[in-house]
Structures are given as structure tokens and as C-alpha cells.
Amino acid sequence: MTNPMRRQNRLGRLALATAADYATDPPRYDPGLSTLMAIDRLARTPAERSLLADLVAIYPGSIAFGENQYYNPVRARASRASPAEVASIERGLAALVDGFRATFGDRYPAELATLEADLAFIDG
């Protein structure tokens, strides 16, 4: 569900926060609300909040797919997508990379490197 030892551990705090919410009260856990609250805790500005929401939309948690922490939903979708769908995934990911650079600067280098590597994978 969450792996704070991964290279991208700084933004992994989003997953840690939602896991803590679940552990606190499983019957009342709301994943969407928990994710929004985690984004609000981590983001410093509305632009960061928006970008983190985009990140979560492109990289939903691996638990949503019944996969482990090494599952990469972007690469998995691109690997089985039509050329038009791949182009759409690529545009969305390129916008996310550009947004990350502009909004976060060097605050999340490991996370940016992952985004760039996924973009290079799709560019093939």
C-alpha cells in the first residue's frame, strides 16, 4: 500500500497519510477525501495542490490495481494502448513534467526523475 523506503519517498507521504487515515478509522475511511486532505497537507499553494491532484490522477495507488509498489500504471497503460491513446498519455505526462519543473523546482528530484523516465519510456 505504501513504501516510504522508495526513492520517491517525499511524495510518498501522500500514500502514508491516506494509510494513516485508513488505520485510524477503517469503517469511515473515504479514499477520495483522504487523498484530498493529504494533498492539502503537502501543498503550499493552489498551483501545487492542482499539480498533486494531477499526479494522483495519472499515478493512482497500486492498490487500486491489486498490484505491488513496483507497479507503474503509466507504463502499463502505455504498453497496451493504441497509438492515439499513447499520444494522449504522453501529452498528459509531458504537461505534468513541465508543471513539476515550474512549480516545485528542485524540491522533489527523485519524483521528477521518475516522471522524466516514464516520459522517455513512452517516447520509446
Confidence of residue 19 (pLDDT cuts 50, 70, 90): confident
Q: Tell me, rounded to whole angstroms, the distance of Cα 110 from its chain centroid.
A: 12
Contact 58, 96 (CB under 8 A): yes
| Count of residues in the chain | 124
Confidence of residue 13 (pLDDT cuts 50, 70, 90): confident
What is the per-residue DSSP string for 13-75? HHHHHHHHHHHH-GGG--HHHHHHHHHHHH-SSHHHHHHHHHHHHHS--GGGGT--TT--HHH
Q: What is the mean pLDDT of residues 104-111?
A: 89
How confident is the model over 48-99, as pLDDT tens digits?
Answer: 999 999 998 888 776 666 677 778 889 999 999 999 999 999 999 999 999 9
Of residues 8 and 96, the one with the higher pLDDT is 96
Domain ranges of the chain: 13-123
Supply 63's cell numbers.
492498490
